């Protein structure tokens, strides 16, 4: 279960990396920047989704 928690935060790391990529591409390649922003949103969503899902899974195992 500890490794799972590390992967939760890996999603946030990827979100930050894609955000940096979007900022650097913004003036040169707008379409590439939009794609990076989509990945930022997806990684952030996956972080919260996986965190919530694993919490439900842990609560179900405790009962």
Q: Which comes out higher in pLDDT, residue 60 or 31? A: 31
What is the model's pLDDT at position 60? Answer: 77
pLDDT at 11 over 80: yes
What is the model's pLDDT at position 1? Answer: 61
Alpha carbon distance 41, 13 (integer Å): 12
Q: Average pLDDT, whole number, for the chain?
A: 90
**What's the average model confidence in pLDDT over 4-21?**
92
For Cα atoms 20, 24, 27, give the angle at the middle one, nearest 5 degrees: 140
Q: What are phi and psi of 44, to 5 degrees?
A: -65, -45
């Amino acid at each position: 279960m500890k490794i799972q928690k590390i992967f939760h935060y890996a999603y946030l790391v990827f979100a930050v990396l894609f955000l940096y990529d979007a900022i650097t591409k913004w003036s040169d390649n707008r379409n590439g920047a939009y794609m990076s922003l989509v990945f930022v949103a997806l990684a952030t969503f996956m972080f919260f989704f996986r965190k919530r899902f694993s919490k439900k899974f842990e609560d179900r195992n405790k009962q």
